[in-house]
Amino acid sequence: MSSWRPLIAGTVGLFLVILAFLAGQLKGGGDPALGQSRAAATQQATPAPQQDFGGGPRGSESDSSLPDVSPPTTHQS
């Protein structure tokens, strides 16, 4: 029964080391999930400028500045 104590102590020690490492990463700003939300918030705060390509009068269906929304197709060669 004495062989269980080192195994349990090693497991708890390893858990605490990993927990301390992750806490240090979080405190230092190294959390990837938080980094993505900060970057997304920064990108949303600065909207991209609108460009006019002169495709005709606004509101017409033949406006060439609108993106093509049809899905891409593939053809067998």
In this predicted structure, the answer to whether residue 55 has a pLDDT above a threshold of 60 is no
**51 contact partners, CB below 8 Å, separation of at least 6:** 65
Written as one letter, the residue type at 40 is A
The pTM of the full predicted model, rounded to 2 decimals, is 0.40
Question: Given this model, what pLDDT does residue 14 score?
Answer: 98
Compute the distance between CA of residue 74 and CA of residue 77 in angstroms, rounded to an integer: 9
- Quote the mean pLDDT of the chain: 74
pLDDT of 27 reads 86
